[in-house]
C-alpha cells in the first residue's frame, strides 16, 4: 500500500549540516540485493517499503505512476512518497538523523547536490546500468540512457543524478511565417546572419534575447550554444573558472558575432530590456524571427499566441555544415541515498520509470517534458506539445547535443555579472573588450578567493556524444 504525504508548508527548525570539499569521499559500499524470490521465480518484496521524497515543482507528482506500478507488480510492497515545498529542509533533517529517504528529488537551488556528493550522501548510479529493461530485456538501462543530458552531478567519471524531467532550449520560430515569407531555416552561422538582412527588409528583427535576465536567456540559451559551435573546449574553460577564460579566441569570436548582429541592426536590443513576458510578446506578435528560450515557452505564453502561429524549434546553427548543434538542457533530478538498504527496489523504480512504456507514458504526461532516454521523440513525442516535441525530434536525430551549464550554480554572482555586461553591450555602453575585461576580472577575483569552493566540470559525456555524432 502506498502512503502518500503532500505537505504544502512545513516550518522546520534544524541545525544545517555544512558540506565542504570538492573531491567526493568514498561512499559506503552499496548493500547487496536482498531480494527474496517467490515460489514462481518472481521477485518478492513483501513486507518491505520504499521511501521517496520529492519537492513540489515542475515535474509534478511524477513518482505516483511509478510507485503505483511497483505496488501492482509486487504485491506486499509498501511505498511512501512525500511531496513538499520544503523537501530540501526535510532531506537535511533526515540525513542528520541518519534516516534519509531511499530516493530524493529536491530543488538544486536550495540543496547542493555537489556538496552532498563530496560528503558521500549519494550513491553513484553505476548499479543501474546493467539492469535489464522491462519491455526489452535484451537491452539494459545503460543502453538506453542519454548520458550527454546527465552532466549535472557527473563527478570523477560517475553519474550521481538521474534526470527526472528534462527541459530543452534553443531557437524558436513561427513555421507559418517562414513559409509565407519564403524564409529558409539556416543550418550554419553564415546562413543565420544572411537571413538577418531579409528580416530587416521586412521590418523584422532576426533575433531578440532577454538582457534584463541575460544571465539566463542570453548566456544559457544563446551564447553558450554559439560558443560550443565554435570550440567546445572554450566552453569548458568558462565552466571551470579558468584564469582569463574570456580571453580565449573562441570566446572573443563568439562575442564579436554577438556584436556584429547588434551593429547590423539584426538584434532587437530594446525589447530585451523589458520584463520577460513583454519581450516574448514581441515574438508572439511576429516582430522577431528567432527567440532563444526553454521548452516552457508555449505554455508560459498560453493565450497570447495568434491562431496562425506555428511554434517550432530549430537546432542552433552549426559553425559549418555537418557540424553538430548544441542546446542547453536543464530540469529536475533525483538521487539515491548511499545508506539505502533497498538497492534492489530502487533498481525496479528506475527500471519501470525508464523502460516500461505504460509507466513512462504516465510519467511524461505528468511532467509534460522529456526524459534522458534514447528515441524519446519516437516513443513519447506525441504526448508533448508540438513545439516541445519538435525539440526532441532534433535531439533524437542526433543533430543537437545537450549540455548543462553549471558555472552560474557553482559561482554566485556570475549571473549578475553576465546580465549587467550584456545589457551594457547591447546598449552600446561597452564593447567586446570591455565585456571580456569585466568577466575576466570576476573570474580571476573569484579564483583568488579562498572562501569560494572551486569545481571541476567534466566534459567526458559531452565529448562522447560528439564522437558518436561524428561516427554516424
Work out the widest C-alpha separation in the chain, in whole angstroms: 76
Asked if the structure places residue 206 within a domain, the reply is: yes
Question: What residue has cell string 546500468?
Answer: 129
| Overall average pLDDT of the 48-55 stretch | 97
- Residue 443's pLDDT is 98
Report if residue 40 sits inside a domain.
no
Residue 387 lies in a domain: yes
Contacts of 339 by beta carbon, 8 Å cutoff, 6+ apart: 28, 98, 100
Residues 288 and 343 in one domain: no
Specify the DSSP class assigned to residue 222. Answer: I
Over range 96-124, report the average pLDDT: 94
> How far apart, in whole angstroms, are the C-alpha atoms of residue 166 and residue 371?
6
296 touches 233 (CB < 8 A): no
Of the candidates 377, 396, 415, which is a domain's last residue? 396
Rounded distance between C-alpha atoms, residue 15 and residue 219, angstroms: 36
The reply to whether 38 falls in a domain is no
pTM of the model: 0.82
C-alpha cell at 62: 511524477
* Mean pLDDT of all residues in 259-271: 97
Model pLDDT, residue 432: 98
269 and 308 fall within a common domain? yes
State how far the Cα of 370 lies from the Cα of 368, in Å rounded to an integer.
7
Among residues 396, 418, 439, the one where a domain terminates is 396
| Same domain as 351, residue 295 | no
Both 186 and 251 in a single domain? Answer: yes
On whether residue 101 sits in a domain, the answer given is yes
pLDDT at 459: 86
In a domain, 376, yes or no: yes
Within this chain, do residues 196 and 144 fall inside the same structural domain, yes or no?
no
266/387 same-domain check? no
Any idea what DSSP says for residue 57? Answer: S
CA distance linking residue 465 with residue 472, whole number of Å: 11
CATH number at residue 366: 3.40.190.10
For residue 77, the model assigns a pLDDT of: 98
What is the number of domains present in the chain? 2
Residue 370, domain member (yes or no): yes
Q: Average per-residue pLDDT in the chain?
A: 90
Q: Residue with C-alpha cell 530543452? A: 168
Q: In the predicted model, is pLDDT for residue 376 greater than 90?
A: yes
The boundaries of the domain holding residue 374 are 2-32+45-167+331-396
Helices marked H in 264-367 — which ranges?
A: 276-284, 297-300, 343-355, 357-367
Q: How many residues does the chain have?
A: 472
Higher local confidence (pLDDT), 382 or 398: 382
Residue 426 lies in a domain: yes
* 6-23 confidence digits (pLDDT tens): 443 333 333 333 333 344
Among 372, 396, 420, the domain boundary falls at 396
Is the domain of 257 the same as that of 344?
A: no
Amino acid at each position: 500500500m502506498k502512503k502518500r504525504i503532500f505537505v504544502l508548508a512545513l516550518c522546520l527548525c534544524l541545525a544545517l549540516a555544512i558540506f565542504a570539499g570538492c573531491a567526493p569521499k568514498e561512499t559506503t559500499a552499496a548493500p547487496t540485493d536482498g531480494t527474496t524470490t517467490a515460489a514462481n521465480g518472481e521477485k518478492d518484496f513483501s513486507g518491505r517499503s520504499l521511501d521517496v521524497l520529492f519537492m513540489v515543482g515542475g515535474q509534478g507528482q511524477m513518482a505516483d505512476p511509478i510507485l503505483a506500478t511497483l505496488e501492482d507488480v509486487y504485491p506486499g510492497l509498501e511505498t511512501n512518497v512525500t511531496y513538499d515545498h520544503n523537501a530540501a529542509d526535510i532531506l537535511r533533517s533526515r540525513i542528520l538523523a541518519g534516516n534519509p529517504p531511499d530516493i530524493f528529488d529536491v530543488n538544486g537551488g536550495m540543496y547542493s547536490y555537489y556538496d552532498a556528493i563530496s560528503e558521500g550522501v549519494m550513491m553513484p548510479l553505476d548499479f543501474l546500468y546493467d539492469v535489464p529493461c522491462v519491455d526489452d530485456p535484451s537491452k539494459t538501462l545503460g543502453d538506453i540512457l542519454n548520458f550527454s543530458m546527465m552532466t549535472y552531478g557527473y563527478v570523477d567519471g560517475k553519474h550521481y543524478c538521474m534526470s527526472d524531467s528534462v527541459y530543452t532550449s534553443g531557437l524558436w520560430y513561427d513555421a507559418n511565417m517562414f513559409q509565407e515569407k519564403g524564409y529558409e531555416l539556416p543550418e550554419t552561422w553564415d546562413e543565420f546572419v544572411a537571413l538577418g538582412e531579409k528580416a530587416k527588409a521586412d521590418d523584422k528583427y532576426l533575433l531578440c534575447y532577454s538582457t534584463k535576465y541575460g544571465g539566463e536567456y542570453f548566456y544559457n540559451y544563446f551564447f553558450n550554444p554559439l560558443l560550443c559551435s565554435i570550440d567546445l573546449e572554450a566552453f569548458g574553460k568558462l565552466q571551470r573558472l579558468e584564469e582569463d577564460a574570456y580571453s580565449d579566441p573562441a570566446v572573443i569570436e563568439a562575442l564579436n558575432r554577438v556584436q556584429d548582429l547588434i551593429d547590423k541592426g539584426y538584434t532587437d536590443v530594446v525589447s530585451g530590456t523589458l520584463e520577460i513576458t513583454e519581450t516574448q510578446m514581441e515574438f508572439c506578435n511576429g516582430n522577431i524571427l528567432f527567440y532563444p528560450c526553454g521548452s516552457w515557452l508555449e505554455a508560459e505564453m498560453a493565450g497570447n499566441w495568434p491562431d496562425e502561429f506555428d511554434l517550432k524549434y530549430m537546432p542552433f546553427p552549426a559553425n559549418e555544415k555537418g557540424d553538430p548543434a548544441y542546446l542547453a538542457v536543464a530540469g529536475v533530478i533525483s538521487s539515491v541515498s548511499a545508506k539505502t538498504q533497498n538497492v534492489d527496489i530502487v533498481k525496479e523504480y528506475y527500471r519501470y520509470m525508464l523502460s516500461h512504456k505504460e509507466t513512462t507514458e504516465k510519467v511524461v504526461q505528468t511532467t509534460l517534458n522529456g526524459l534522458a532516454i534514447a528515441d524519446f521523440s519516437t516513443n513519447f513525442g506525441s504526448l508533448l506539445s508540438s513545439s516541445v516535441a519538435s525539440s526532441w525530434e532534433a535531439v533524437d536525430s542526433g543533430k543537437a547535443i545537450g549540455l548543462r551549464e553549471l558555472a552560474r550554480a557553482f559561482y554566485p554572482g556570475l549571473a549578475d555579472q553576465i546580465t549587467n555586461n550584456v545589457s551594457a553591450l547591447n546598449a552600446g555602453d561597452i564593447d567586446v573588450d570591455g565585456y571580456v575585461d569585466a568577466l575576466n576580472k570576476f573570474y580571476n577575483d573569484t579564483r583568488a578567493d579562498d572562501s569560494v569552493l572551486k569545481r571541476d566540470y567534466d566534459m567526458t559525456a559531452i565529448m562522447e556524444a560528439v564522437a558518436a555524432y561524428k561516427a554516424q
